[in-house]
Protein backbone atom coordinates (compact mmCIF):
# COMPACT_ATOMS: atom_id res chain seq x y z
CA UNK A 1 0.00 0.00 0.00
CA UNK A 2 1.51 3.27 -1.17
CA UNK A 3 1.43 5.79 1.68
CA UNK A 4 5.16 6.44 1.89
CA UNK A 5 5.97 9.97 3.10
CA UNK A 6 2.30 10.87 3.46
CA UNK A 7 1.53 13.01 6.51
CA UNK A 8 -1.29 11.39 8.45
CA UNK A 9 -3.25 12.48 11.52
CA UNK A 10 -4.92 9.71 13.51
CA UNK A 11 -7.24 10.88 16.28
CA UNK A 12 -7.84 8.72 19.32
CA UNK A 13 -4.56 7.01 18.50
CA UNK A 14 -3.38 6.41 22.06
CA UNK A 15 -4.90 2.95 22.26
CA UNK A 16 -7.01 0.30 20.53
CA UNK A 17 -7.92 0.63 16.88
CA UNK A 18 -6.39 4.12 16.64
CA UNK A 19 -3.05 2.87 17.93
CA UNK A 20 -3.09 -0.01 15.45
CA UNK A 21 -3.86 2.40 12.61
CA UNK A 22 -1.06 4.79 13.57
CA UNK A 23 1.49 1.97 13.81
CA UNK A 24 0.33 0.46 10.51
CA UNK A 25 0.74 3.78 8.69
CA UNK A 26 4.22 4.18 10.13
CA UNK A 27 5.20 0.67 9.03
CA UNK A 28 4.27 1.65 5.50
CA UNK A 29 6.44 4.77 5.58
CA UNK A 30 3.95 7.48 6.50
CA UNK A 31 4.72 10.32 8.91
CA UNK A 32 2.14 9.97 11.64
CA UNK A 33 0.66 12.51 14.02
CA UNK A 34 -0.54 10.47 16.98
CA UNK A 35 -3.36 12.52 18.48
CA UNK A 36 -5.19 11.65 21.67
CA UNK A 37 -6.87 13.37 24.58
CA UNK A 38 -4.28 11.59 26.76
CA UNK A 39 -0.85 12.90 25.79
CA UNK A 40 0.96 10.22 27.79
CA UNK A 41 -0.78 7.48 25.81
CA UNK A 42 0.01 9.26 22.54
CA UNK A 43 3.67 9.57 23.51
CA UNK A 44 3.90 5.83 24.22
CA UNK A 45 2.62 5.07 20.71
CA UNK A 46 5.09 7.55 19.23
CA UNK A 47 7.92 5.92 21.19
CA UNK A 48 6.93 2.52 19.79
CA UNK A 49 6.87 3.88 16.25
CA UNK A 50 10.23 5.64 16.61
CA UNK A 51 11.80 2.54 18.16
CA UNK A 52 10.85 0.71 14.98
CA UNK A 53 12.45 3.43 12.84
CA UNK A 54 9.24 5.25 11.96
CA UNK A 55 8.47 8.96 12.17
CA UNK A 56 5.75 10.25 14.48
CA UNK A 57 4.68 13.25 16.52
CA UNK A 58 2.32 13.31 19.54
CA UNK A 59 -0.29 16.05 19.79
CA UNK A 60 -2.88 16.28 22.53
CA UNK A 61 -6.36 17.11 21.27
CA UNK A 62 -9.93 16.78 22.45
CA UNK A 63 -11.87 16.53 19.18
CA UNK A 64 -14.99 17.88 20.89
CA UNK A 65 -13.24 21.26 21.27
CA UNK A 66 -13.01 23.14 17.97
CA UNK A 67 -9.96 25.22 18.94
CA UNK A 68 -8.04 22.07 19.80
CA UNK A 69 -8.88 20.57 16.41
CA UNK A 70 -7.67 23.74 14.71
CA UNK A 71 -4.45 23.56 16.70
CA UNK A 72 -4.02 19.89 15.76
CA UNK A 73 -4.12 20.60 12.04
CA UNK A 74 -2.11 23.82 12.28
CA UNK A 75 0.60 22.15 14.36
CA UNK A 76 0.77 19.24 11.91
CA UNK A 77 1.18 21.51 8.89
CA UNK A 78 3.72 23.68 10.72
CA UNK A 79 5.83 20.59 11.46
CA UNK A 80 5.49 18.68 8.20
CA UNK A 81 4.49 21.33 5.67
CA UNK A 82 1.32 19.53 4.57
CA UNK A 83 -1.49 17.16 5.57
CA UNK A 84 -2.31 14.24 3.28
CA UNK A 85 -4.71 12.17 5.37
CA UNK A 86 -6.81 12.48 8.50
CA UNK A 87 -8.28 9.41 10.15
CA UNK A 88 -11.17 10.38 12.41
CA UNK A 89 -11.05 7.55 14.90
CA UNK A 90 -11.60 9.22 18.29
CA UNK A 91 -14.77 7.92 19.88
CA UNK A 92 -16.41 6.93 23.14
CA UNK A 93 -19.15 4.51 24.11
CA UNK A 94 -22.35 5.13 26.06
CA UNK A 95 -23.78 3.55 29.14
CA UNK A 96 -25.85 0.65 27.84
CA UNK A 97 -29.43 1.66 28.56
CA UNK A 98 -32.75 1.61 26.78
CA UNK A 99 -33.65 4.86 25.06
CA UNK A 100 -36.10 6.11 27.71
CA UNK A 101 -33.53 5.40 30.43
CA UNK A 102 -30.65 7.20 28.70
CA UNK A 103 -29.45 10.38 30.35
CA UNK A 104 -29.14 13.74 28.66
CA UNK A 105 -25.54 13.95 29.88
CA UNK A 106 -24.66 10.64 28.26
CA UNK A 107 -26.29 11.67 24.98
CA UNK A 108 -24.44 15.00 24.90
CA UNK A 109 -21.12 13.38 25.82
CA UNK A 110 -21.24 10.72 23.11
CA UNK A 111 -22.58 13.00 20.37
CA UNK A 112 -20.00 15.70 21.15
CA UNK A 113 -17.09 13.32 20.54
CA UNK A 114 -18.36 10.78 18.01
CA UNK A 115 -20.39 13.08 15.79
CA UNK A 116 -19.47 16.72 16.41
CA UNK A 117 -15.80 15.79 16.81
CA UNK A 118 -15.78 14.12 13.39
CA UNK A 119 -17.46 17.20 11.89
CA UNK A 120 -14.88 19.51 13.45
CA UNK A 121 -12.00 17.39 12.13
CA UNK A 122 -13.53 17.16 8.66
CA UNK A 123 -14.20 20.91 8.52
CA UNK A 124 -10.69 21.96 9.51
CA UNK A 125 -8.93 19.29 7.44
CA UNK A 126 -11.01 20.15 4.37
CA UNK A 127 -9.95 23.79 4.61
CA UNK A 128 -6.33 22.64 4.49
CA UNK A 129 -7.03 20.18 1.67
CA UNK A 130 -8.69 22.86 -0.45
CA UNK A 131 -5.61 25.08 -0.07
CA UNK A 132 -3.35 22.19 -1.09
CA UNK A 133 -5.55 20.91 -3.89
CA UNK A 134 -5.82 17.36 -2.53
CA UNK A 135 -6.54 15.29 0.57
CA UNK A 136 -8.02 12.14 2.00
CA UNK A 137 -10.36 11.50 4.94
CA UNK A 138 -11.10 8.13 6.49
CA UNK A 139 -13.83 8.16 9.12
CA UNK A 140 -14.21 5.33 11.60
CA UNK A 141 -17.92 4.57 11.79
CA UNK A 142 -19.32 1.26 13.01
CA UNK A 143 -21.64 -1.61 12.24
CA UNK A 144 -23.87 0.29 14.70
CA UNK A 145 -24.07 3.01 12.04
CA UNK A 146 -25.56 0.60 9.51
CA UNK A 147 -28.00 -1.55 11.48
CA UNK A 148 -30.04 -1.53 14.67
CA UNK A 149 -28.08 -1.48 17.92
CA UNK A 150 -30.46 -1.74 20.90
CA UNK A 151 -29.63 -0.10 24.24
CA UNK A 152 -27.14 2.05 22.41
CA UNK A 153 -29.09 5.08 21.18
CA UNK A 154 -26.43 7.80 21.39
CA UNK A 155 -23.64 5.65 19.95
CA UNK A 156 -25.88 4.38 17.15
CA UNK A 157 -27.05 7.90 16.33
CA UNK A 158 -23.48 9.18 16.21
CA UNK A 159 -22.26 6.41 13.94
CA UNK A 160 -25.20 6.67 11.53
CA UNK A 161 -24.31 10.37 11.39
CA UNK A 162 -20.68 9.59 10.53
CA UNK A 163 -21.82 7.43 7.61
CA UNK A 164 -24.11 10.21 6.40
CA UNK A 165 -21.45 12.91 6.77
CA UNK A 166 -18.98 10.74 4.86
CA UNK A 167 -21.32 10.29 1.90
CA UNK A 168 -22.49 13.92 1.80
CA UNK A 169 -19.00 15.41 1.99
CA UNK A 170 -17.64 12.90 -0.53
CA UNK A 171 -20.10 14.26 -3.10
CA UNK A 172 -19.22 17.86 -2.28
CA UNK A 173 -15.48 17.42 -2.81
CA UNK A 174 -15.24 14.68 -5.45
CA UNK A 175 -14.14 17.21 -8.08
CA UNK A 176 -11.55 18.75 -5.74
CA UNK A 177 -9.17 15.77 -5.62
CA UNK A 178 -10.38 15.00 -2.10
CA UNK A 179 -11.61 11.51 -1.22
CA UNK A 180 -13.72 10.70 1.84
CA UNK A 181 -14.56 7.17 2.94
CA UNK A 182 -15.55 5.33 6.10
CA UNK A 183 -14.87 1.95 7.62
CA UNK A 184 -17.50 0.24 9.72
CA UNK A 185 -15.97 -2.26 12.14
CA UNK A 186 -18.14 -4.89 13.70
CA UNK A 187 -17.32 -6.38 17.07
CA UNK A 188 -13.59 -5.74 17.35
CA UNK A 189 -11.14 -6.36 20.18
CA UNK A 190 -10.99 -2.91 21.76
CA UNK A 191 -11.57 -0.96 24.97
CA UNK A 192 -15.21 -0.38 23.99
CA UNK A 193 -15.84 -4.10 23.53
CA UNK A 194 -14.11 -4.85 26.82
CA UNK A 195 -16.33 -2.25 28.49
CA UNK A 196 -19.41 -3.94 27.08
CA UNK A 197 -18.40 -7.45 28.15
CA UNK A 198 -17.31 -6.30 31.60
CA UNK A 199 -20.72 -4.70 32.09
CA UNK A 200 -22.56 -7.79 30.84
CA UNK A 201 -20.30 -10.90 30.80
CA UNK A 202 -22.98 -12.98 29.09
CA UNK A 203 -22.59 -10.78 26.02
CA UNK A 204 -19.34 -12.51 25.03
CA UNK A 205 -21.08 -15.72 23.98
CA UNK A 206 -24.08 -13.87 22.59
CA UNK A 207 -21.97 -11.65 20.34
CA UNK A 208 -19.81 -14.47 19.01
CA UNK A 209 -22.93 -16.45 18.20
CA UNK A 210 -24.05 -13.81 15.68
CA UNK A 211 -20.66 -13.49 13.97
CA UNK A 212 -20.39 -16.07 11.16
CA UNK A 213 -16.61 -16.24 11.63
CA UNK A 214 -17.20 -16.91 15.36
CA UNK A 215 -14.53 -14.48 16.51
CA UNK A 216 -14.01 -10.78 17.07
CA UNK A 217 -12.09 -8.64 14.62
CA UNK A 218 -8.57 -7.53 15.40
CA UNK A 219 -7.51 -3.89 15.47
CA UNK A 220 -4.80 -4.68 12.92
CA UNK A 221 -7.44 -5.90 10.47
CA UNK A 222 -9.26 -2.59 10.70
CA UNK A 223 -5.94 -0.78 10.24
CA UNK A 224 -5.33 -2.70 7.01
CA UNK A 225 -8.52 -1.32 5.49
CA UNK A 226 -7.86 2.23 6.68
CA UNK A 227 -4.34 2.38 5.24
CA UNK A 228 -5.62 0.89 1.97
CA UNK A 229 -8.31 3.58 1.66
CA UNK A 230 -5.71 6.26 2.39
CA UNK A 231 -3.26 4.89 -0.16
CA UNK A 232 -2.63 5.58 -3.83
CA UNK A 233 -4.14 2.16 -4.56
CA UNK A 234 -7.70 3.43 -4.16
CA UNK A 235 -7.80 6.61 -6.24
CA UNK A 236 -11.29 5.92 -7.65
CA UNK A 237 -12.96 5.11 -4.34
CA UNK A 238 -14.90 7.79 -2.50
CA UNK A 239 -18.10 7.99 -0.47
CA UNK A 240 -17.93 4.32 0.48
CA UNK A 241 -18.47 2.47 3.75
CA UNK A 242 -16.29 -0.60 4.03
CA UNK A 243 -17.83 -3.08 6.50
CA UNK A 244 -15.40 -5.24 8.49
CA UNK A 245 -17.55 -7.48 10.64
CA UNK A 246 -16.74 -11.14 9.99
CA UNK A 247 -20.07 -11.45 8.18
CA UNK A 248 -22.25 -10.18 11.04
CA UNK A 249 -24.29 -7.86 8.78
CA UNK A 250 -25.25 -10.85 6.63
Q: Which residues are catalytic?
A: 155
Q: Is 250 helix (H, G, I), strand (E, B) or coil?
A: coil
Select from 101, 115, 87, 48 the least CA-distant residue to 183. Answer: 87
Q: How far apart are CA 124 and CA 178, in angstroms?
A: 14
Angle between helices 153-173 and 104-111 (to 10 degrees): 30
Neighbours of 136 (CB within 10 A): 26
Q: What is the CA radius of gyration of the chain?
A: 17
Neighbours of 103 (CB within 10 A): 12
> What is the number of alpha carbons within 13 Å of residue 10 lying toward its C-beta?
30
Amino acid sequence: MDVKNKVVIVTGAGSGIGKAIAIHFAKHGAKVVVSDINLESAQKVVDEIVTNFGEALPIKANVAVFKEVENLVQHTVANFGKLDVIVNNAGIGPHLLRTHESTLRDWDRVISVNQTGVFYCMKVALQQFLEQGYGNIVNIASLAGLKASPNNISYSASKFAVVGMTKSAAMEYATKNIRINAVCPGYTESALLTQLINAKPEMDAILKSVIPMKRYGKAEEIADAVVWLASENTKFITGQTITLDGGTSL
